[in-house]
Amino acid sequence: RTGCAASRNVRTIAMLTAAVAFAWTGPAPLRVSTRRHRPAVMDDGLVADVVEDGPPAPLEVIQDMSTDIGQKFGPTAPAHPWAKPWTNLYEQEAVQLVKARSQLLKQPLKDDMANDEIFVSKDSIHILKHHGSYMQQDRSLKGKDKAQSYQFMLRLKVPCGEIPGPLYAELDDISNKWGHGDLRATTRQAFQLHGVLKSNLKDVIQAIANIGSNTYGGCGDISRNVMTPPVHFPNNKAYVYCQQYSRAMADLFKPMTDAFVELWLDGEKAHSVEYWQRDIGEFDLDKVRSHDNGNGIITGHPVEPLYGLTYLPKKFKIAFTVPGDNGVDLYINDIGCVVIMEPDGETLKGFNLVVGGGMGRTHKKEATFARAADHLGFVKKADFFEAMKAILAVQRDHGNREVRASARLKYLVHTLGIDSFRTLVEDYHGKAIEPWAPLPPWKYLDWMGWHEQGDGKLMLGINVVSGRISDTAEVRLKTCLRVLVDRYDLDMILTASQSLVLRNIAPADRMTVESTLKEHGIKMIDEVDAITRKSIACPAFPLCGLAMTEAERVQPDINAKLNAVLRKLGMANDDFVTRTTGCPNGCARPYMAEIAFVGSGPNAYQLWLGGSPDQAGRTGQPTSLFKMKYDDLEDTVEPIFTMWKTQRLTADEALGDFCHRVSIPAVEKYME
């Protein structure tokens, strides 16, 4: 392949071949109001479009609405057709129609918020996610009490995990006044707040907006919080570009609907520029967003030029990093971007891109799987935004909207293969993607402890167990952070491992900051055991509706059990990345861990082994232990650790690398 034209020819032949299995029947009829279309397999194996009289099918409603508002390209009319096992032409799953009918993410949520119920309707739950909120119930309650326990989780959009001191102070107040009195640092570098009642939701969102932040894009079928390493190195250009372009992408892919302003802010924008948008003005992103390269990236929708009427098939995650620093878990993202500098170390050359990572799966449904992203290639700085728009447009037009469990970009990349996916991106982009720039090995860097920022100030990384910012009898973390923010005017950055980094600490304040932390029971990182430091867990019970068992609340106990077994085996100096989730949805990225416990039933976990210690491009593998009883955890891991200790090639061969090398069946045989 020598370029786009050649690749298109190759692709055309591939399409014709594939057509025997699932024929492309041409662009969807865009305006059909009284007829139903259905696919029919003909004698020759091709699929025909049969038109019958009858009321409009739900999909035709989407098609009609797209046409009415002038949308030219989208999932029923891709600018560049590509044969695949789904078409999105004859049926789409229900959430797509909910989005299409929502009047750009407003209804029926707007009506539901105006009524006196303590909950919102099923359709509103889907729309509410795009505003950064999930409706939850307390699953520890029963009957009437449970029925009265409707509450809302709010997740902020904080690109790069940046939390200015004043925003933390506001969240601290909000959580005390309207929430459960605690905050939770998520695995995507955001804060979420639990326990907000419907009647208070508007006040809380207004308060967050008034301090220069927001919640839209925290959840939903749009681009989520954009991640970066949690550091502040103002004189290190690679990290500076990493964060600047992360903020730019957060802005470029934000939804353009005024739904957020209309529903929560009474039509008045709280701020024209939010704090994280401060250094991206030079990019003129409104112009970049609507720029039409003529290759079908721009939908034609008058409000949402990139997303169109039905937004993306499902959530969409982006992370940035610099070569060598993989604290963000780059390979779990829909798109991962690696800053590539010119040899002078000062000039940005472009970005390496990975595509198609994702964690979510369903137990015993082999069609769903965790996947580490593939290397797409390199794009020059000047082409970067258009290339990112092209990838988004490919997922928008070709992602699976028929089966929600198969809607993430990872399934499209897996189905097409990375080479065909790259060709499709190039068709939208109008340019070739260049070969991947060589990179040094990845390292898992969590940025805990003291670090010089390079501008005369200091950073201090603090471990937060499972991300819970709360006060207990022994550890008063929430109170302490408020004291530090108020007294020293500090800002913070949330990490991808649910911990946080305090930044802009004057060297003269180092001792008093440290003593303040110790007074409140907070350990310095050298007092935290390595297993705890490398562990993360999802919230799970009692509020997550999908949880099958505990995660966050048992993680400290799991860490204690793992440490006890290591000590028993004389392996106290060994450690590994361990993660726990309450279900296979994988919010705490368990499938990248060296050893993971994935909830599979009450007090039961599926055991996963073999992820990379640096999360460097592969997932772990499931063992046949599908329902490991929680009480059996020590007995289960002891033979695994024994085998690792006695059969590792070198003293520093990591647990995940060892299990990956010898294979899971070999580990299981040893366990027998």
Which residues contact ligand SF4 (rule: CB under 6 A)?
Answer: 538-540, 544, 546-547, 551, 581-583, 585-587
Distance (Å, whole) CA 667 – CA 660: 10
| Bridge partners, 492 (sequence order) | 163, 502
Whether the Cβ atoms of residue 62 and residue 90 lie closer than 8 Å to each other: no
Q: What is the DSSP string of 143-211?
A: HHHHHT--EEEEE---GGGEE-HHHHHHHHHHHHHHSSS-EEE-TTS-EEEEEE-HHHHHHHHHHHHHT
Task: Between 191 and 351, name the residue whose CB sits nearer to ligand SF4.
Answer: 191
Minimum distance from residue 499 beta carbon to ligand SF4 (Å): 18
| 3-state DSSP helix/strand/coil % of the chain, to nearest 5 | 35, 15, 45
Residue 457, Ramachandran bin (φ over 0: left; ψ between -120 and 50: alpha; else beta)? beta
Minimum distance from residue 606 beta carbon to ligand SF4 (Å): 12
Whether the Cβ atoms of residue 232 and residue 265 lie closer than 8 Å to each other: no
Task: Between 501 and 543, name the residue whose CB sits nearer to ligand SF4.
Answer: 543
Minimum distance from residue 325 beta carbon to ligand SF4 (Å): 25
**Stretch (H or E) spanning 608:** strand 604-609
**Stretch (H or E) spanning 252:** helix 237-252
Task: Between 84 and 589, name the residue whose CB sits nearer to ligand SF4.
Answer: 589
Q: Which two tokens stand for residue 200?
A: 């208070």
Task: Between 484 and 598, name the residue whose CB sits nearer to ligand SF4.
Answer: 598
Task: Between 230 and 586, name the residue whose CB sits nearer to ligand SF4.
Answer: 586
The residues near 276 (Cβ < 8 Å, ≥ 6 apart) are: 158, 159, 160, 162, 247, 250
Residue whose entry in the numeric block shows the structure tokens 């957060």: 250
CB crowding 69-103: b at 16 or more within 10 Å, else e: bebebbbbbbbbbbbbebbbbbbbbebbbbbbbbe
Q: Which two tokens stand for residue 288?
A: 């970049």
- Report H helices in 569-651: 633-647
Minimum distance from residue 61 beta carbon to ligand SF4 (Å): 30
Residue whose entry in the numeric block shows the structure tokens 């250009």: 237
The residues near 592 (Cβ < 8 Å, ≥ 6 apart) are: 329, 331, 332, 359, 370, 372, 577, 579, 611, 612, 615, 619, 620
Sequence-distant contacts of 287-292: CB under 8 A, at least 24 apart: 288/252, 288/385, 289/252, 289/256, 289/389, 291/386
Task: Between 400 and 585, name the residue whose CB sits nearer to ligand SF4.
Answer: 585
Residue 299 φ then ψ, to 5°: -75, -30
Task: Between 351 and 541, name the residue whose CB sits nearer to ligand SF4.
Answer: 541
Minimum distance from residue 360 beta carbon to ligand SF4 (Å): 8
Minimum distance from residue 108 beta carbon to ligand SF4 (Å): 24
Whether the Cβ atoms of residue 397 and residue 74 lie closer than 8 Å to each other: yes
Distance (Å, whole) CA 610 – CA 464: 25
Task: Between 347 and 362, name the residue whose CB sits nearer to ligand SF4.
Answer: 362
Task: Between 463 and 585, name the residue whose CB sits nearer to ligand SF4.
Answer: 585
Task: Between 493 and 540, name the residue whose CB sits nearer to ligand SF4.
Answer: 540
Task: Between 37 and 130, name the residue whose CB sits nearer to ligand SF4.
Answer: 130
Amino acid (one-letter) located at 153 = M
Minimum distance from residue 603 beta carbon to ligand SF4 (Å): 14
DSSP state of 316: B
**Stretch (H or E) spanning 246:** helix 237-252
Minimum distance from residue 362 beta carbon to ligand SF4 (Å): 11
Angle 609-370-127 from CA coordinates, rounded to 5°: 135
Please name which of 552, 628, 549, 553 lies closest in space to residue 588, comparing C-alpha atoms.
552
In this structure, the number of other CB atoms found within 10 A of the CB of residue 638 comes to 16
- The CA-atom distances, in angstroms, between 40 and each of 28, 48, 50 are 15, 5, 7
Task: Between 23 and 587, name the residue whose CB sits nearer to ligand SF4.
Answer: 587
Task: Between 211 and 540, name the residue whose CB sits nearer to ligand SF4.
Answer: 540
Task: Between 494 and 643, name the residue whose CB sits nearer to ligand SF4.
Answer: 494
Distance (Å, whole) CA 635 – CA 643: 13
Minimum distance from residue 247 beta carbon to ligand SF4 (Å): 26
Task: Between 326 and 600, name the residue whose CB sits nearer to ligand SF4.
Answer: 600
